[in-house]
Chains A and B, each alone.
Chain A
């Protein structure tokens, strides 16, 4: 009996901490989003915060910005990441060796840098008074630094998108590369003999094979950028702000009555993330046939 239950008992402290912090936090947030706030004497449950949010133009503007930034960031990093992975695959195939170490290190580098640091790098490089702007002005490509487009703290969110594209493209590439490396070397020979050029090989074999992993990687990037806080807080504008920043602004605005709304924003974010997770899960199930290949 003791032998059987020992592993579970040993896992108990860790499980308890996770359950308390994760599910406890979500449950507390959910209760408060329903208006349960004993600190200000509210003990009933209602949907007032959700109703106010869904009727607020600020919320919808914030939602539009968040979706735009997350969609563009994941799309750009998915494209760049796939391009990098396919390029690595072909370099590897032509040299018949594993990825050369310097290339591997280069792609790992962005993964080791925190998002906040990446955000600061974008500030230093791409603001109108930043390095790139001054470099272009010095070499005469632009007349002055004011001609450089506003890429940081802009209302469209280019700075945020740029940061995520730089940070997440290598993540996508490194997620895809192991899948591509399972592509049989002789498949390229097969497709060539049957009349396929390099592009047809990519379209007919490489892309379909990497599709499941690509979808999952893109989904991870989307969910992360959809609910991330620090980079939009650093590189975004005050209005409109992305949903996590909007939630923070509501929470710290000073009035306790705004807090259920702030937490309702978080609950909506969590619900959308779960919904997207389910969609990604059902899409990836369609490709289950690929499980045994290679």
Chain B
């Protein structure tokens, strides 16, 4: 199998002022990206995801660790010989080359004959929906079209791994959506291994087979979108993925009592006694008064209501705890800001983390 294996790769950036202290540290990363997999590195700005991508590309020199592709050790192989391709945040097309020459650039570097490489470039332009644009120059294309060309340039060289550094972040939302769909389709058609960097949770969730959440130069958790969202390993990952309902409390004899006493319910998972965080996904909170088995009832005051594409996001304050929940427009119409509301939390849907 031609998996991409990252073994304890690390990188230190020295600060310009303090001579002894590293200003940024990418802690040793251990990661295997399977052949044909769409793998995303997800994290906030400055967490080290682009550094890791550039280390994989060979554009940065690692301070330690190894990079393997199948049985080939790429640790000391220069980027031009790794047979990877990359799409950057900006399209970075060469302005003096026509679109088809830009697309054929990688093949030209591989010494592929002119006729063959231009035919391949035209066919790839057709794939990204830009047939007939080959003779134009980059400045004659829109931002979205330029990024499609950058994608075609990366794919035409038949790379072993396609590296993508926030390629759609400079595009407007509708174009971003369109590009995601195109990339998803192309990745399925070509079965290319993709290592994708993004800070956009929805983008990572929509595209990826697996995701690694990064923070402060470390890999926090690896898993599928659902695993990460429903079973985060720590509160940092949970917060980054938008899970803001984190209640601290104690489990005693199979019963969780939150610190502010708004929740007192038996837990569905076998948990040892101790201090825990209970994480409630906004979607697992319903607006309902009647008690149902396996549910816990919370009464609070609506602090904020926001309409977001088809549903309402509510912030409800219960004692000192702010809870975020998602309601249908029908449910939301029954309440208003400042009014009290009864919420039901399905205890089967909550997730506990040891403090």
Which A residues are closer than 8 A to B by beta carbons? 184, 186-187, 189-197, 200, 204-205, 208-209, 287, 289-290, 292-294
Q: Which 5 A-B pairs have the closest CB atoms?
A: A293-B95, A195-B109, A194-B106, A193-B86, A192-B79
Report whether B92 and A193 are in contact in the complex, using a CB–CB cutoff of 8 Å: no
Name B139's closest neighbour in chain A (CB-CB). A292
Report whether A189 and B137 are in contact in the complex, using a CB–CB cutoff of 8 Å: no
Tell whether B96 is near chain A: CB-to-CB under 8 Å: yes
Tell whether B94 is near chain A: CB-to-CB under 8 Å: yes
Report whether A196 and B80 are in contact in the complex, using a CB–CB cutoff of 8 Å: yes
Report whether B106 and A189 are in contact in the complex, using a CB–CB cutoff of 8 Å: no
Name A194's closest neighbour in chain B (CB-CB). B106
Given contacts A187-B94, A195-B157, is CB(A293)–CB(B139) below 8 Å? Answer: yes
Which B residues are closer than 8 A to A by beta carbons? 57-59, 78-86, 88, 90, 92, 94-97, 105-106, 108-110, 137-139, 153, 157, 163
Per the bound structure, the CA–CA distance linking A278 and B145 in Å amounts to 37
Report whether B96 and A195 are in contact in the complex, using a CB–CB cutoff of 8 Å: no
25 contacts between A and B (CB under 8 A): A186-B92, A190-B88, A192-B58, A192-B79, A193-B59, A193-B82, A194-B109, A195-B83, A195-B109, A195-B110, A196-B80, A196-B109, A197-B80, A204-B94, A204-B105, A205-B94, A205-B96, A208-B96, A208-B97, A209-B95, A289-B95, A289-B96, A289-B139, A290-B95, A293-B139
Report whether B92 and A187 are in contact in the complex, using a CB–CB cutoff of 8 Å: yes
A184 CB to closest chain B CB (Å) equals 6
Contact of B106 among A187, A195, A293 (CB under 8 A): A195
Name A198's closest neighbour in chain B (CB-CB). B80
Chain B contacts for A208, CB-based, 8 A: 96-97
Report whether B59 and A293 are in contact in the complex, using a CB–CB cutoff of 8 Å: no
Chain A contacts for B88, CB-based, 8 A: 186, 189-190
Per the bound structure, the CA–CA distance linking A234 and B78 in Å amounts to 54
Chain A binding surface SS class? helix
Chain B contacts for A289, CB-based, 8 A: 95-96, 137, 139
Name B163's closest neighbour in chain A (CB-CB). A193
A196 CB to closest chain B CB (Å) equals 5
Per the bound structure, the CA–CA distance linking A204 and B96 in Å amounts to 10
Chain B contacts for A200, CB-based, 8 A: 109
Contact of A190 among B78, B82, B84, B92 (CB under 8 A): B92
Name B101's closest neighbour in chain A (CB-CB). A204
Given contacts A189-B59, A190-B86, is CB(A195)–CB(B95) below 8 Å? Answer: no
Name A184's closest neighbour in chain B (CB-CB). B92
Report whether B84 and A193 are in contact in the complex, using a CB–CB cutoff of 8 Å: yes
Name B57's closest neighbour in chain A (CB-CB). A193
